[in-house]
Copies of this chain bind each other. A is one copy, B any other.
Amino acid sequence: MSFRHDISATDGAARTGVIHTPHGDIRTPAFMPVGTAATVKAMLPQSVRETGADILLGNTYHLMLRPGAERVARLGGLHKFMDWQRPILTDSGGFQVMSLSSLRKITEEGVRFQSHIDGHEEFLSPERAMEIQRLLGSDIQMVLDECPALPASDEALEKSLALSMRWAKRSRIAFGEQQGRACFGIVQGGTVARLRQRSAQELQEIGFDGYAIGGLAVGEGQTAMFETLDATLPHLPQDKPRYLMGVGKPDDIVGAVLRGIDMFDCVLPTRSGRNAQAFTWDGTLNLKNARHAEDAGPLDPNCLCPCCRQFSRAYLHHTVKAGEIIAAMLLTWHNLQFYQDLMAGLRDAIAQGGLDSFAARFRARYGVEKSTDSAIFSE
């Protein structure tokens, strides 16, 4: 069975459809919960599936350090190891090397760095990044790229981009052919339209199964992010999945879907769930707030997750205050449910040709938040 993206409906620039993989279908636009270290934090895998997630993201950087890609392979691969039998996308580790490790040294060959866990030295090249993802058994494997910190000069961005494109070519060659699995390129270029367009062009010359937009949601703000998407997406092929990495807040996702993005990942729902923050259609709530202490109502009366069906805001407030693990479990579950419900709403709206109206209603009720820094939350 081959990897294939069937687009069943469009609405403006937005698209909905299904990505077919040997591990099952992915309904797009899709949100991928982050399963950093072979677990979506505070969730059992069947619970993640119950929220409607079709695909998880795994982190090459974390898994190469612990438990190690060769070990996961000996244990039967990542799907079996973490008991998630559906599709898995793995990043290449590039972003985490930049944000988590120390003593990084980038050369043409790759990046040498020290583990943030125990300080031991590791080396990641495009070839090793792809080998790790193959060992993990990932369905969608990402090229190794360099992620420049923003703001950066155009010259620095251009130099970094050139390296990322050379690494993309080596990654694609290293990926080779893997039946049913996909290799995605990553468009870089900061917020400079001509660099993004050049990157999109060069990646297509190499040829990938899907195209990601990297290096956004790192502090540039939502306006700049959307402008970059507007400048980039018309230069990507219509028939391949488009993945906006590390994004984001619900209103980021709505805006990006309107512009034609098919896939997202972000730690926000899971990390927020461990920090007492809940997403609702009326915006975010902090369950630490004393106003919830005697609120017998559910977090969200329309939500069907166990957190909302079985417990009151007062209970969530109490367990948050008491530092109980169940608070993280319940709020994570709810937040993932909210994100999946949002994606289902977006898919339905596109299928019915009513995305603009859906987006307007969403924004009117949810509100629009100011900053777009979701990708800086690395789990």
Contacts and interface: CB of A to CB of B under 8 A. Distances in A.
Contacts of A74: 294
Interface in A273-289: 274
A329 interface: yes
B41 A326 contact: yes
Given A42-B325, A294-B75, A67 B318 contact: yes
Residue from A74, A296, A321, A326 having most chain B Cβ neighbours under 10 A: A326
Contacts of A319: 37-39
A322 B66 contact: yes
A343 interface: no
Contact of A44 (B38, B81, B293, B306): B306
Interface in A308-328: 310-312, 314-315, 317-319, 321-322, 324-326, 328
A39 B326 contact: yes
Given A67-B318, A82-B315, A83-B310, A326 B296 contact: no
Contacts of A311: 83
A235 to B, nearest CB: 40
B318 A76 contact: no
A195 B67 CA distance: 56
B293 A324 contact: no
Contact of A324 (B37, B75, B83, B324): B37
Interface in A40-98: 41-46, 66-67, 71, 74-76, 81-83
Nearest to A330: B44
A187 to B, nearest CB: 32
A71 B39 contact: no
A314 B324 CA distance: 26
24 contacts: A37-B324, A39-B322, A39-B326, A41-B324, A41-B325, A42-B329, A44-B326, A44-B330, A66-B321, A67-B314, A71-B314, A74-B294, A75-B296, A75-B314, A75-B315, A76-B296, A81-B315, A81-B318, A82-B315, A83-B310, A83-B315, A325-B325, A325-B328, A325-B329
Given A39-B322, A66-B321, A81-B312, 7 more contacts: A39-B319, A41-B325, A42-B326, A46-B306, A67-B293, A83-B311, A325-B328
**Closest A-B pairs by Cβ, 3 of them:** A42-B325, A67-B318, A83-B310
